[in-house]
Amino acid sequence: MPIPGNLLTTAMAVMPHQNVDRAIELALTLDIPFWPQLPRLNYYEDMYVQASEHFPGILLDLDQKTLRFSIDRFIVELEDTLAHFEEPEYFDISPTYSAVYHRFLNMDHSNRPAIRGQLEGPISFGFNVMDQDDRPILFNDTVRPFMFEFMARRVNVQLNRLKLLNTNAFMFIDEPGLQFLFSALSGYNDSAAKTDVEAFLSMIDRPRVLVWGIVPTNVEPFSKESLDSLEIQLETRWAALQKKGIDRDFLLSRSLLSPATCCLVNPDGEKTVEKAFEMITSLSARLREKYRLI
């Protein structure tokens, strides 16, 4: 089944909440709910840490909240990891690494148009995790091919788990690290990344849809926007695309709406993020009525 569109709502998963019940409750206010990632709850809930589970060579320090890599340990642990490669549960997120995920799995989502999971993408993971020489593991020609396959398996296992709850389940692959590809200092250019990402995507089940991240979640930008201003911004972009030959009705049928970003740094904690969730719901309702979307 395709991912639903028609300006239904979802959001990126990282949230500032420390109360699991409230975070899940908020996620469930959207048309397409997701399991929240709550790094303020504990370090296991960090998106990079969750992606690192069972990855050979990882050095996780919960007290110092650091995630690093040792090539010597990678060499020692690789054989054992490969021995588990045909075991789906090995690539899933354990209750230790996300109590929130398993709470979400125990809920009934069968009446939703879709549900969504997520995993940190291999490029961002590879940029963020440093080896014993303070060098991103993405630059290691031995580790990198394994990392892409490992993460693809993690995506597929989580997706299959979610599809048991809702046949329209899909995944977000979070890749904030893509911005570094165009830096001459990165040591890994956009051409190499294109080849690797194409190979990575070929290994996963990947229906695609546009998500318009439109409602700010930071305090100051949020305070400057309204439903009217956000509606104008979206319709201006849709009109520009229509002039380039993209049919608006087809575009909307393949589009979702979302808050613009995750946000952990607001001085008001969770308040503005929760307001952004409310606003995206109101904006969706307004536009769906305007364009007569089911």
The pLDDT of residue 179: 77
pTM here is 0.92
The span from the CA of 99 to the CA of 115, in Å, is: 18
The predicted-structure confidence for 220-248, as pLDDT tens digits, reads as follows 999 999 999 999 999 999 999 999 999 99
Instruction: Label the pairing between strands 58-61 and 255-259.
Output: unpaired
Residues 60/70, Cβ–Cβ less than 8 Å:
no
Kindly provide the b/e burial profile for residues 198-224, where b requires at least 16 CB atoms within 10 angstroms of the residue's own CB. eebeeebeeeebebbebbbbebeebee
The span from the CA of 27 to the CA of 33, in Å, is: 5
Residue of 139, 106, 117 whose CA lies nearest to 50: 117
Please report, as a single letter, which amino acid is at residue 258.
S
The pLDDT of residue 205: 77
Residue of 19, 20, 28 whose CA lies nearest to 11: 28
Q: Which residues of the chain have pLDDT under 70?
A: 1, 182-187
The pLDDT of residue 218: 95
Domain boundaries, the chain: 20-208, 209-294
For residue 291, CA distances in Å to 16, 207, 287 come to 33, 24, 6
The predicted-structure confidence for 260-270, as pLDDT tens digits, reads as follows 999 999 999 99
The pLDDT of residue 186: 59
The pLDDT of residue 178: 79
For residue 209, CA distances in Å to 10, 101, 171, 254, 256 come to 12, 23, 11, 6, 7
User: Can you give the C-alpha Rg of the chain in angstroms?
Assistant: 20
The span from the CA of 166 to the CA of 109, in Å, is: 6
